[in-house]
Structures are given as C-alpha cells and as structure tokens.
Amino acid sequence: MGLAVGIVGLPNVGKSTTFNALTKASNAQAANYPFCTIEPNKAVVEVPDARLDELAKIVEPKRIMHSQVEFVDIAGLVKGASRGEGLGNKFLANIRECEVLLHIVRCFDDSNITHVEGHTDPVRDAEIIETELILADMEQLNKKIEKLAREAKSGANKEAKASLECANALLEHLNAGKKASSFDGGDVFESLNKELRLLSAKEMIYGANVDEDGLSSDNEYVKAITAHAAENNAQVIKLCAKIEEDLVGMSDEEASELLAGMGADESGLELIIKAAFAKLGLISYFTAGVQEVRSWTIKRGWLAPKAASVIHNDFEKGFIKAEVISYEDFVACKGEAGAKEAGKLRIEGKEYEVKDGDVMHFRFNV
C-alpha cells in the first residue's frame, strides 16, 4: 500500500531543504529565492521500524524489506494560486495526488533568508495556504454542483438530489472559510470527496521548521502554530531542516548522539512517518523467512484476507487461514519454532482483524 506525503508551503520556507534531508536524496534544488522548485520532486523512502531489525537478528534473512513512503516536494504556493497566480493550478493538481500534506512553516528569524511575505509569521503563512486550498475546492465544487443540478432535474441519476444537497451545504461551509476536513456530510460527502479529492479535506501535518536553538524548547512561533493546528485537529512536528541534513550519512550511534544533544529523541523523518501513519490509520504486519523479513502496510481494521492482498491478490481470493504470532511473542520465543512450542502461534480465519506487529504466514489455494 502506497502512501504519498506532499510537502507544501509558501515559497522559500525550507520545503526543498526538508525534502533533501528527509529523503537522504539531494536531488531537490534548494536556493534562496521563490519558485526554486517548479516541477515536483519525488522520492521513495523506507519506513524506519526497529522491529524489522530485531526479527532479522532471529531469522537471519537474505534481505530486509521495509514499508515505503513517497515524499513529493511541491512548488511553493502564493496568494492567488487558486486563480492561477504563481504556478497556480499545476501546483494544486500535484497536491491532489497526495494522501497527506506536510505543511512546512518557517518558525525562525534569519535576515539572510528572504521571506515572500516580508517577515516570519507561521499562522499567517498557514492561513494563506489553507485559504487557497479552500478557494480551489470551491471552484471545483461549483462545477460539480452545476452537473448535479442537471442530473437531479432530469432524474437520470437517482442519487443526484442527495449529492446536490450535500454539495450545496459543503459549498456554504467552505464559503465561511472552513476546510472540508471539518465538514460532517456522512456517506454522501465521502462519496463526493472520493471523486473530487478535495484539497482542504486532506489530512495535514504542520512541520515547524526551527533553527538549532528551537529544537530544545518551543519559541513563540512554534507555540503559535501549535495553537493554530489544535484548532484544526492537526499535529505539529518540530524539525530543523539543517540538522536533518547533518544526519545524512551518519551512523545510527552518531545520529542519536547529535539528536540527544539538541534535545530530540527521533529524527524528523521518523516523526513525520509515524504521524502520517496515525493520520491515515495505517499499521504494519510482518512476514519473516530465510529469504526476507518484510513489513507490509495495511489499514487498521483490515481482516486477514484483505491484509493478505497486499502481498498478492491471489492470497485474498484463495485465502484459507493465517498463522499468526505477535511480534512480542516471536521475539520472546526466539522465532517461529519457539513460538509454536510455547503455544503462541495461532490459527486465524477470515474474520481475524490483523494487529500492528503481527508476524503472519498465509495459507491459500487458487
């Protein structure tokens, strides 16, 4: 299961620098002027999970395969983007393809780094982006309403009337400056959003880009964006793009020592991925054999056959049963054989809800 995290924000707030640091791939040009990024930069990175290393110590596989996340560095947005200013609709189309938005806001002062709005104000910056997303959604929704009105009048689409009522209510909600993510429209809204992929409905994580001093304690800018995020039921992750770049190429021990010295326990990458997983309700289960130890990403609540489908569709179609060992039991019993002997291996059927950290082996017949 893929997960795309779009890195968005005003021009020149550190999006490309963050992208380079998080992906350990310096292929996104970073420079001190607006619209440095024109085409979106993309990179697929591994999801860090220490549990894989522990499983590998026991199984000694030929390879370790992590889950993956795609990061997309999208060109900076400016006021009027919904009307075509800056990179306009091209920018907005790139956002539409992402499941989660990592909204980078600048939370430090530096006279040597140009700010497109003249001075640092993370809440103002966040509101500029959010307003443009709402305006773009309104434009798209108006077009949909015109189509639904015709369908409701002709009677050709029996569901058009309910969809039209929902769309009009949503338009009123957006017109009040509220994001689609706070609209309660039930199943009808979910259906509309699945088609339209509304920008302001997407899950958002705020990335507070601080200087080195800002990692150890929250400055006024971090406190302000944290309050704003709370109003939007969103999370703030504090990171220092410069420090993240310094982590590239370091050993685990060196990285841990540097982070500890800055008052941080985990890298920005680890925090962002965990937040994105939580926002989307994602979990991981494992397969562990001599060929490979591998992490598979699924939605929380998936039953065993559906979870098996991420390995191969045939696993779901011909599902018979699943052999399941919890991660904790697998490690405590030093592998599958020990877990079997201790009675920790369970046989689960089609109604089993897969848990985060399950070590699984599927039986199927096609």
Long-range contacts of 219-225 (CB under 8 A, 24+ apart): 219/107, 219/108, 221/105, 221/106, 221/107, 221/108, 221/120, 221/121, 221/122, 222/107, 222/122, 224/122, 224/123, 225/105, 225/107, 225/122, 225/123, 225/126
Residues 6+ apart with CB under 8 A from 170: 141, 180, 183, 185, 189, 192
Residue 219 marked as a ligand binder? no
| Residue 361, strand partner residues | 323
Residue 13 marked as a ligand binder? yes
Residue 17 marked as a ligand binder? yes
Alpha-carbon span 334 to 311, nearest angstrom: 25
Residue 202 marked as a ligand binder? no
Q: In what order do the strands lie in the sheet with 282-288?
A: 63-65, 292-299, 282-288, 359-364, 319-325, 346-348
Residue 344 marked as a ligand binder? no
Residue 287 marked as a ligand binder? no
Binding site residue list for ATP: 12-17
Binding residues: 12-17
